[in-house]
Amino acid sequence: MAKGVNQNDLNIAVLSNKQIKKQAFEIAQSKLEKAKNELINDFGSHSVSREIKAGPSSTNISGTLGGYGNLFSFIGFDAGNNPVDLWIAFLKNKIQIKNKNPKTSESGDKILFEFDVNGVSDADLTANAQMPWELGRSWIKSIEQGISGFSFYISKKLGRSGGGIQADNKVRSGQYQRKQYWSSMWKKFLIDLK
C-alpha cells in the first residue's frame, strides 16, 4: 500500500529546490517584461507623448492647448531634445526585479513566489522628467496637474524650443487643459504585475 505524502514535507521540498526557484524567477521576469513593454508602448503612443516627440513643429494633437501651438514649445524644451525617449530609456533601466530570491508563502495547496520590483517614485519623476525651466517639478506630472502661463504663450518659430516664446503681457484668454497621462498608465502596469 502506498504511503500518503505529507503536504508540509512536499512544500519544504519545493521551496528548497533551486530549479523551481529558477523557473519561478524566469516566469516573473517574463511577466515583468511584458507589463513593462505595455507600459512603454502606452506611454509612447499617448497623444501627449507623440506631440512632444514630434518637436516644435507639431500640432496640438493632445488638445491641452485648445489646438494652439504645441506642448514641446509651450513647456519650453530645447530644440533637439527628446524628453519622451529619455523617460522611456529611464523606465527600461529602472523597472527590474530587485533580486532572484523570492519571498515565499503557502496558500492552501499552492506555493506563492513573490519578487520585489524597482518601481517609479515621485522623486524619479522629478529627477528624470524635469520641467526645463521650473526646477523641482516634473513635466510628466504637470501634464495632469496643470501648467500655468498659457495666456502668455506665443507660438512662433522663436525661442529655445524653436517653436514659441512667453510674452511679458497676456496675449489671450484661456488656459492649459489638464490631461490624464502617466498616473493611469502606472496604475494599469501595477495591476498587470499582480
Q: Map out the domains of the chain as residue ranges.
A: 7-193
The continuous run of DSSP H or E covering 139 comes out as helix 139-145
Residue whose grid cell is 509612447 = 44
Residue with cell 512603454: 40
The kind and range of the H/E element at 114 are strand 110-114
User: Quick check: pTM over 0.85?
Assistant: no
CA 141 to CA 144: how far, in whole Å? 6
pLDDT at 135: 83
Mean pLDDT by 10 residues, the chain (194 residues): 52 67 90 97 98 93 90 88 97 92 78 88 95 90 86 58 52 77 96 88
Spatial distance between the Cα atoms of 194 and 187, rounded to a whole number of angstroms: 11
Please classify residue 71 by burial: count the beta carbons closer than 10 Å to its beta carbon, then call 0-12 exposed, 13-18 middle and 19+ buried: buried
For 153, the enclosing helix (H) or strand (E) is strand 153-154
Looking at residue 2, what is its pLDDT?
46
Return the pLDDT at 169: 52
Task: Using the structure block, give the residue that is written with the C-alpha cell 523551481.
Answer: 20
What's the pLDDT score for residue 1?
Answer: 42
